[in-house]
Amino acid sequence: MRFHYLWFGLGLFLLSPVSTAQSLQQTAGPPGAQFFGAAEHDGRLFAAGRYGGLFTREAGGWATEPVGLRLGTLYATSERLFAYNASELFRYDDPEGWVPAWDGYVSHLWVGADSLLVLVNDTLYVSGDDLDWRMALRGRGVLDGSGTPLGEALLVLFEVVQAPDGAFWAASMSASTSGMYRSEDGEAWVHLSDGLPIFSFPRTLFVSTAGDVLLAESSAVYAFDETAETWVAQQGLAQVTPIRFVEAGGALFLHGYASGAPAIYRRDGANWTEVVQPESDVIALAPSPDGLFALGLDGLYEGPGDGTWTPLHDGVVASSAQPYRIGEGVAVRGTDGWLRSDDEGETWVPQAYPPDLGQIYDFGDVVIGTASDNVYRSTDGGASWQLANAGINVGPFHKRSLRDVERHGGMIYGGLYSSRAIKHQGGETVGGVYRSTDGGQSWALLGSNFPINSNGFRAGVTLLAATDAHLIAATQEGLVRIPHDGESWEALDAPVTTALFGLEAVGGRVVLMTFDEIFVSSDDGATWAPFTEGLPAGSYRRFLASHGDEAYLLISPLLDPVAGLYRLGADGWEDTGAVVPDWLSWLRLVVQEDYVYLGSANHGLWRYDPAGIPTAEEPGLAPGRPLLGAPRPNPATGAAEFVLAWPEAAHVEVTLFDLLGRRVAVLHDGEVAAGTSLTLRLDGRRLPPGHYLVRATGGEHRATQRVTVVR
């Protein structure tokens, strides 16, 4: 028998047995990791996901940090760790987590050996690690090359850096003061642009620890010659578009693009030589304690800068996934092509799908694939594909962009939406619905009286739904329907006509989703009624998906990154109780025969088991699966309880975080015996209203829940 405990004051009291809630499970893939920033701080490696999220690596391996931020580039100074996402600046404060290092918008950041520079519009602020900011300049006091004042000329600062000797270097892009400037005190500025093109457009400004000043333009790199006070073009970088300079291991590196492909270069005197990239195309560089971090499309690598690289991403799932149902499995498109899993996302096999394939619609005996300008079909579950464009004659000025595909009996429908609104000889237009009666081999434009858009073309189609009697289409001009055996479209009196994000036919009903509303129809779209029973107030709808008679809705409250998964019921929506991690950015929802899959940006593929997850007292508990029950109640005005069950004896810490990743409270820190459960109590009366994350860690396991405190 399992027991749970209740915190009361400082004591533990034995209570009656309880069960645990269901949970969303992260799969083992798809493989790959996309990072945009990396830095080592206080013995830990921090890696920021390209599309959000934070990952940390210690001796025990990788861990996902519950951070509801897109951190961007990471910078490690001697005392602190900073993150900058091109508009916001954060610092890492252990144990509080990530907190703002600057209150407001930041247009440019420079991190030097002993100083930080923040540029806000035309004002520069300087600080040390203590973050005691002082205003350094407001762009006044400009001198020309001979030292003559330029009056009230204003520097429109693009980038500012500080040299080891304390001097400031700035790039200005105004009409009257364009060029490069240097200041010894941040007040008087000298124009130093000799050697640069007349029309100079600086992209990146950099100064090394040795005092070397480098300027990258759109297609050239210059170094400043202190003796001659002129800029000298660097050699070996022809046809290179520079992105960012990095100093690592006593050497200077440049990340850029050569002929459209990513490239890395190392400086040797006045020359630059190309460095062999790791296995993945590099999207960013960062200094590491032992050399250089290379952040690629498929992982994180470290090397001394000579072209030899060691992968560091083993054991972390940091890929992006947009899942599609195919056969009994699921397919996602990776950076190097399509991957498929037939074991709930635990292993992945590369697939020889058409390289331009964008979406997959599996109807059992036939699979339809769509691309930006092609349609494909497969009759062997995706093992082989044939081009299936016959009949979709959009002409040379339009593309065969089928936005949605549906099936009813022996008919397959495709909704066309081409963004090229140019009418050409032949009269074909940008939208409409095409029908195939031969399994997708050939297509024909369906029906008359189809709505016409303001440009005189057939309206583009974004969504389709097939009921027993009708095909319903969401177009630029509103909802229309046509009988499966009919030839004429009928306009529907829908409650909304634009900004439609979901349309599904489920069990004799049609569900229509907008940005912040949901409607249902039981008469094939003739009449509609609001359908939000069971959903939290003030939320907007992210994704709607169905399969057979099951439909699910992924929602997120407006302006807050807290998600929830709901199932369509007879009279409203039923909360599945699934723990949908709050800090993730979701890309797609798919309903499969046995699972519901959620694809995320930078955190791989997640699945929900509608049949439920066994509790620790039930047979069949998967070895090593930690459980942290959903809070009850949630939202909470006062106390909320969490049930904790751990699959093996371990020292477990349960911590409360806010959405900035700051530690708010420790709910439990002690031993948990295998096969038992604890009930942990959170006093919401002592917390500000808002959304919080509860994370349990013990041994090699982690589990997370969310809780909302309201007043």
Task: Return the top range by mean pLDDT from 177-181, 428-432, 522-526.
Answer: 522-526
> pLDDT: is 190 or 157 the higher one?
190
> pLDDT: is 358 or 711 the higher one?
358
Q: What is the pLDDT of residues 444-466, one digit of tens each?
A: 999 999 998 877 888 889 999 99
Cα end-to-end span (Å), the chain: 37
d(CA 482, CA 470): 5
CB 447 within 8 A of CB 432: no
Structure tokens at 135: 């205003």
Determine the average pLDDT of the residues in 599-603: 85
Structure tokens at 65: 């940090």
Instruction: Indicate the pTM of the whole model.
Output: 0.74
> pLDDT: is 60 or 242 the higher one?
242
pLDDT at 324: 95
Average pLDDT, the chain: 81
CB 603 within 8 A of CB 594: no
pLDDT at 134: 78
For residue 703, how far is the Cα from the chain centroid?
Answer: 21
d(CA 577, CA 27): 19
Confidence of residue 123 (pLDDT cuts 50, 70, 90): confident
Structure tokens at 553: 């809705």
* Pick from 33, 517, 504, 112: nearest CA to 294: 33
pLDDT at 481: 97
d(CA 131, CA 90): 11
Q: 297-306, 610-619, 662-671 — which is least confidently predicted?
A: 610-619
What percentage of the chain carries pLDDT values higher than 90? 33
Determine the average pLDDT of the residues in 532-549: 85
Q: How many CB atoms lie within 10 A of CB 690?
A: 14
- In degrees, to the nearest 5, what angle opens at C-alpha 549 toward C-alphas 546 and 554? 35
For residue 609, pLDDT over 60 is answered with yes
For residue 259, pLDDT over 90 is answered with no
pLDDT at 545: 95
Confidence of residue 612 (pLDDT cuts 50, 70, 90): low
Any idea of the CA torsion for 601, 603, 342, 333, to the nearest 10 degrees? 30
Confidence of residue 148 (pLDDT cuts 50, 70, 90): very low
pLDDT at 199: 66
Backbone angles phi, psi at 603, to 5 degrees: -130, 25
State the SS3 of 506-551: ECCEEEEEECCCEEEECCCCCCCEECCCCCCCCEEEEEEEEECCEE
What percentage of the chain carries pLDDT values higher than 70? 85
Q: 190-199, 252-261, 326-335 — which is least confidently predicted?
A: 190-199
Determine the average pLDDT of the residues in 146-158: 50
Q: What is the pLDDT of residues 35-88, one digit of tens each?
A: 889 999 888 899 988 887 888 888 767 887 767 677 889 998 888 899 998 889
Sign of the C-alpha dihedral, residues 26, 31, 36, 37?
positive
Q: What is the pLDDT of residues 654-678, one digit of tens each?
A: 988 776 567 788 889 998 888 777 8
Confidence of residue 586 (pLDDT cuts 50, 70, 90): confident
* 371-to-357, 392, 403, 404 alpha-carbon distances in Å: 5, 13, 9, 11
Confidence of residue 150 (pLDDT cuts 50, 70, 90): very low
